[in-house]
Structure 1
Amino acid sequence: MTDSSNDHSNHAPADRTIADRALALAGLLQALGQVRRIAETGQANVEVLATSLDSVFRIDAASPAEVYGGTAALRPGLTLLREYFTSRLKDEQLPRLALAVIQLERRFVADPAMAQRVRDGITAQQGAAEHQGSTHPEVMTALGDLYAETLSHLRPRVLVQGNPHYLGQSAVVAEVRAALLAAVRSAVLWRQLGGSLFDLLLRRRQLVNAVEQLLR
């Protein structure tokens, strides 16, 4: 779950680097927004979820924007990021989930064997995703199983709260796990772009400005 945008960022101007990091954070929140929606209602916004799941298969994208199929596809995530920075985020679970995923990603990249296993699992589903779409139930089940067999064994575990009625259904659990895999993909990208938790403190104003510009 790596990509060539890491090299791209090394030569980008500072403002471009911040904008790219904002995109990765937006990708993270967009995926987790769908995790929360699925866990609470049993259903995702298919178009929004597709952007997140498609990003899982764009391992060698030329730029951060291309990971998500263009900046416009990240508008829901950018909106969530702006709400977070302006203390208007209604879902208090999202920041907690985001922090857990960022911590999980650190454990993940420190385990080369697991990283290779995840990459192989994604590659194995590439053809099905291209033919049937990344939100096809069989593709999401495969991605969910991949998450369950790999990342779910790392600590800290990402604990998703929601409606027990839906979280007791295997198809819903698979969809949640697939969206979590997409969230980890964005966390990997954010780190590759030089992102760190210090950004949220020391570069907050720059990130807010970048988000506003991207939304415009």
Structure 2
Amino acid sequence: MSHNLENQTLAFAGICQAAHLVQQVARQGSIDNKATLTATLNSILVTDAEQTADVYGGQDQLTLGYQTIVDQLSNKSARKNAELTRYLVGIVALERKLAKRQDLMAMLGERINQVKRQRHHFELLDDQILASLASIYSDIVSPIGPRIQVAGNPTYLQQTPVQHQIRALLLAGIRSAVLWRQLGGKRRHILFARKQLVARAQSALRK
């Protein structure tokens, strides 16, 4: 299996992991695994990694993402989730629109650099950082549409910290979608190369 497909699958696992965490926080109000949450959100700020896996702090930080690929794309899977698929499709569609807007991409880069500077004073999961990441998504990404409608428990969805986490995670999904496209990932691969994606994800889970 080619090294490029391995990296494409890794980046796609990043998209899947972000989408899965969006669903989890929308339904439960919190994320069970803080290390997974941290790796996913930190990927937004890693813009000069030498290797693809370094964006996430190593391949082992994407276990949830790889498992989501297997669950969502495997023909035999009984764990397919239409809501999760909708998030994945929405993230990829938004990134495609964003990629055509160099002005917005430049703004995105500048705003991310501002958050990097904030990180000198705050932890990644601090409310201040989450609010800053959420505002990048709200100000730059979401308006280009179509908007991703997140379903979940209304009690949690009305809470500002939960809203910030969801938007920050959607931004992380966009970041992985940018990486996936840069590595040659295309929407048709989700349909026509799903066997290869699943096989690669299963291989990564066995390591």
TM-score with structure 1 setting the length = 0.89
Structure 1 range deviating more: 181-190 or 201-210: 201-210
Aligned length: 203
Q: Deviations over 1:111-137 (max 9, x none)?
A: 111111111111111133355332221
2:180 equivalent to 1:193: no
Determine the structure 1 residue equivalent to 2:112: 122
Query: Matches of residues 1-216 of structure 1 in structure 2 within 5 Å?
Result: 15-45=2-32, 46-86=34-74, 87-129=77-119, 131-216=121-206
2:110 counterpart letter in structure 1? D
Runs of 4+ more than 6 Å apart: none
Distance in 2 between residues matched to 1:127 and 1:18, nearest whole Å: 34
Contiguous gaps of at least 5 residues in structure 1: 1-13
Residues 73 and 194 of structure 2 are in contact (CA less than 8 Å); yes or no, is this contact kept in structure 1?
A: yes
Residues 80 and 89 of structure 1 are in contact (CA less than 8 Å); yes or no, is this contact kept in structure 2?
A: no
2:63 counterpart letter in structure 1? R
Distance in 2 between residues matched to 1:208 and 1:167, nearest whole Å: 32
Give the % identical residues.
33
- Please state how far the C-alpha of 1:69 moved relative to its aligned partner: 0.6
Contiguous gaps of at least 5 residues in structure 2: none
RMSD: 1.4
2:189 counterpart letter in structure 1? D
